[in-house]
Amino acid sequence: MDWDKKFAAALGYNEFLARHAQPAHLERWRAMFDRIRLTAQQQELLASFVREMDVLCLAGAWCGDCINQCPIFEHVAQATAKIHLRFLDRDEHPVVRDELSINAGHRVPVLVFLSEDSCEVARYGERTLPQYRQLARDLLGPACPTGIVGPAQDLLASITQAWLDEFERVQLILRLSPRLRQRHGD
């Protein structure tokens, strides 16, 4: 997959929503964005990032899981100039959708983390471990979150932390990469 081309074709958070979100979905995205709070410690961690990181998010503006998580990604990206976040619509990009299938399904959101020179570093999605634990407790059966009612605040904090842990993991991969350390002389 030519991630550099896909990243160049992707949209910023607001552009993605302007293009793909229906009014009812847009209101849910805004409400969730307003609920997200990064702690001072989380902001400090993000401010300490050294390596540039392109992050490509495959999403659907209609998707409850995207409504509940993608605003987290935007908060993370806003907290550091080292993260460049872009979005692709799942249905407009079937080649990417198929490449990022999870368990033979077209799930979203899925993030692809890229180095400054467009090498794939990691993929992560579509739900975090805290979300799966909660779903297992609540359902143990079929369900589809709608995004109409977001997660409880303590679960939202756990989800935010789980995603931040993945961003940090990728940053450490990049920071410790012999190839990039040689390039940057550090």
Q: What DSSP string runs through 70-81?
A: HHHHHHHHHT-T
Note the pLDDT tens digit of each residue in 124-140: 999 999 998 888 877 77
pLDDT confidence bin for 121, thresholds 50/70/90: very high
Alpha-carbon span 101 to 18, nearest angstrom: 25
pLDDT over 90 (residue 166): yes
Alpha-carbon span 151 to 154, nearest angstrom: 8
Question: Which amino acid is present at 108?
Answer: V
Q: Please give the average per-residue pLDDT across 177-185, as a whole number.
A: 97
As a whole number of Å, the CA-based R_g of the chain is 16
For residue 101, what is the enclosing H or E element?
none
Q: Helix, strand, or coil here: 83?
A: strand
Place of tokens 């350390």: 181
* Contact present, 108 and 65 (Cβ < 8 Å): yes
Q: What was the pLDDT predicted at 148?
A: 55
For the chain, domain boundaries: 3-184
Alpha-carbon span 73 to 57, nearest angstrom: 9
Residue 64 Cα distances to 29, 105, 128, 143, angstroms? 9, 16, 14, 11
pTM score, whole prediction? 0.92
Q: Helix, strand, or coil here: 38?
A: coil
Alpha-carbon span 162 to 90, nearest angstrom: 23
**Which numeric CATH code is attached to 3-184?**
3.40.30.10
Q: Please give the average per-residue pLDDT across 149-154, as a whole number.
A: 71
Q: What was the pLDDT predicted at 144?
A: 54
At a CB cut-off of 8 Å and minimum separation 6, what does 43 contact? 79
Which ranges of 105-152 does DSSP label H, i.e. alpha helix?
129-138
